Amino acid sequence: MSNNSSRPNKIQTLRQKRRKDFFVLIFGCAGLLTLLLFTGGISLAEWVLANLVLILGAIAYFEGSAHYHVASVEADTEPAATESANSKAYEDTVHGLINGLPFPTILINADGRLEVANAKAKEVFRLVTDNGVRASAALRQPDLLAASIRVSDTGAEEQLAFKLPNDGQSWIAQIRPGPKENTVIITLEDRTTIRRAEQVRVDFLANASHELRTPLTAISGFIETMRGPAKNDYAAWGNFLDIMFQQSERMKRLISDLLSLSRIEFSEHNVPSTTIDLSPLLVAAIDTLEQMAHEKSLKIVAENTDQSFWVVADPDEMTQVIQNLISNAIKYAADGEKVIVQIGAANTMERAESDISRGIPEAAHATLLSPQASQKVPAIWVRVVDEGSGISAQKLPRLGERFYRVDESRGGRIDGTGLGLAIVKHILARHRGGLAVESKKGVGTAFSFWLPRGNVPVRHG
Ligand code: ADP
């Protein structure tokens, strides 16, 4: 635009300059000829003739070359105009690209103002507009602003991890030189989920080490005692050895649960492919735990296990789920009561969830795992109900967290790793199923899971 309007001005200036050159040339040469005339170098006739030739020659030259000079002005202006049009198209492309990016991106111009901030960036920095806002006002993060100024000055790209006030998100910013000199492009990557996963891992490792160290400390304490103060107290040794055995058994259980958990986590994204009948698995699990129930004078009652209930599942993992739930019911129920194991079908996953949460009157509910399968597909559900002391409502949602144990339900006496329900939850997640709990203090607890129903296998022959 500015280049086009300057074109007539340039031609005008050029004309004035050429006119000046013309008179300077004419008068300069005429002066020289006059000097020659006065010094007798040339005659008057030669002076007149020479001046005539000079004036005509000069006129012919200046007129003849006028087009060439105008053309050269045009040649000078046109690339500038084309360049300007190109630069505008380039800018539009860059802006379009930034606006189309799926992650927050900002372009800051050489004056330190926002040239473009795409919708995601506006969301992050809570900007109403990106039109010329000063970066110092828009970027609500001093380190990010300082980095963008450095990149604008030096052209050397930088990376920065930061959090914004009042939003708890963890961001990584890549700050790079922009398409023009001293401009800066900032792209943001949301690291919140990764950070949280890292934190979960760190906590898990800390918990696992702590849980393993407790029995190990007890064992090595007793060894010290037997080697030192109780060296010859053989009467006490039997008791010490009993405790050491219990502690080493506890360590074995912990290690085996930790291994199960890591194995299941490893295969969590592979959906199982075998179709199995859950009823025989329930019957087998009840048989296995019969002795444990008998020791507590408990009765395990199975309902509906004479019918088939088909699901697509891994039989070993399903056995582990059922055994963990029934053994918990036995462990945490008082002596002389019964544990009921029920199985059933529902038209939809949604329906299964509502059917299984209406068992214990006035009980509190918590969904520990929401199913990933569609809510509309037919479902099979399993429910394990006990008449134990129950769990208070506010503690229900935490069940299934690794190492979480409810003190009130075990009174510090019942041994466990706090990993059983976490294993159940991971297995069910792999099967795209759900897990829920309902409990009422003094009445009992029911854990239920539900899975998409499998097709009844076609029998050949
Ligand atoms: P563990 O039984 O090894 O401690 P779990 O992950 O199986 O670990 O269970 C976690 C906690 O949930 C238990 O410590 C217990 O406090 C509580 N819990 C589980 N099942 C029941 C139940 N049927 N009745 C009461 N509390 C239970």
**CB–CB of 325/447 below 8 Å?**
yes
Domain span holding position 28: 2-77
Ligand 1 touching residue 416 (CB < 6 A): yes
Q: Are residues 320 and 235 part of one domain?
A: no
Collect all residues with Cβ–Cβ distance below 8 Å to 265 and sequence separation of at least 6: 426
Q: Are residues 252 and 387 part of one domain?
A: no
pLDDT of amino acid 314: 95
pLDDT of amino acid 71: 67
Ligand 1 atom nearest to 400, measured from its CA: 6
- The DSSP element (H or E) to which 299 belongs, if any, is strand 299-303
CA gap 25, 34 in Å, rounded: 14
Question: In sequence order, what DSSP letters do the residues of 116-179 get, joined into one string?
Answer: EE-HHHHHHHT-S--SS-BHHHH---HHHHHHHHHHHHH---EEEEEE-TTT--EEEEEEEE-S
Q: Which amino acid is present at 295?
A: E
User: Which residue, judged by its Cα, is nearest atom 3 of ligand 1?
Assistant: 416
Query: Which residue bears the tokens 């003739």?
Result: 49
Last residue of a domain, one of 165, 190, 215: 190
Q: Are residues 383 and 295 part of one domain?
A: yes
User: Which residue, judged by its Cα, is nearest atom 26 of ligand 1?
Assistant: 409
What tokens were used for 455? 């097709």
Pairing of β 338-346 and β 299-303: parallel
Q: Where are the beta strands (DSSP E) in 181-234?
A: 184-190
Collect all residues with Cβ–Cβ distance below 8 Å to 242 and sequence separation of at least 6: none
Last residue of a domain, one of 21, 46, 77: 77
Centroid of ligand 1 to alpha carbon of 455 (angstroms): 33
What tokens were used for 425? 């939850």
In a domain, 457, yes or no: no
Q: Are residues 226 and 288 part of one domain?
A: no
CA gap 231, 216 in Å, rounded: 20
Q: Are residues 391 and 258 part of one domain?
A: no
Centroid of ligand 1 to alpha carbon of 157 (angstroms): 52
Last residue of a domain, one of 190, 221, 245: 190
In a domain, 376, yes or no: yes
In a domain, 357, yes or no: yes
pLDDT of amino acid 145: 94
Q: Are residues 401 and 253 part of one domain?
A: no
In a domain, 313, yes or no: yes
Length of the chain: 461
Number of structural domains the chain divides into: 4
CA gap 110, 135 in Å, rounded: 11
Sheet of strand 379-386, all strands in order from the earlier edge strand to the far edge: 299-303, 338-346, 379-386, 444-452, 434-440, 364-369
pLDDT of amino acid 411: 56
In a domain, 153, yes or no: yes
What CATH number corresponds to the domain at position 323? Answer: 3.30.565.10
In a domain, 21, yes or no: yes
Classify 174 as helix, strand or coil: strand
Centroid of ligand 1 to alpha carbon of 328 (angstroms): 6
Q: For residue 349, list its beta bridge partners.
A: none
Q: Which amino acid is present at 185?
A: I
CA gap 38, 40 in Å, rounded: 5
Centroid of ligand 1 to alpha carbon of 405 (angstroms): 6
Q: Are residues 402 and 321 part of one domain?
A: yes
Q: Are residues 297 and 441 part of one domain?
A: yes
CA 314 to chain CA centroid, Å, is 30
Q: Are residues 161 and 178 part of one domain?
A: yes
**Residue in 214, 254, 255, 409 to alter for ligand 1 test, most ligand atoms within 8 A of Cβ:** 409
CA gap 20, 13 in Å, rounded: 11
Ligand 1 atom nearest to 405, measured from its CA: 14
Ligand 1 touching residue 409 (CB < 6 A): yes
User: Which residue, judged by its Cα, is nearest atom 23 of ligand 1?
Assistant: 329
CA gap 293, 335 in Å, rounded: 9
pLDDT of amino acid 69: 64
Series of mean pLDDT values for 10-residue runs along the chain (461 residues): 56 76 78 78 80 79 68 65 79 90 94 93 87 87 94 95 82 94 94 87 90 93 95 94 94 93 86 94 96 93 96 96 96 84 96 87 94 95 94 94 79 79 95 96 94 86 55
In a domain, 261, yes or no: yes
Ligand 1 touching residue 421 (CB < 6 A): yes
Ligand 1 atom nearest to 404, measured from its CA: 10
In a domain, 124, yes or no: yes
Q: Are residues 14 and 162 part of one domain?
A: no
- The DSSP element (H or E) to which 140 belongs, if any, is none
pLDDT of amino acid 1: 42
pLDDT of amino acid 363: 93
CA gap 242, 245 in Å, rounded: 5
Ligand 1 touching residue 406 (CB < 6 A): yes
What CATH number corresponds to the domain at position 216? Answer: 1.10.287.130
Q: Are residues 203 and 161 part of one domain?
A: no
What tokens were used for 163? 């959090």
Ligand 1 atom nearest to 417, measured from its CA: 3
Q: Are residues 375 and 341 part of one domain?
A: yes
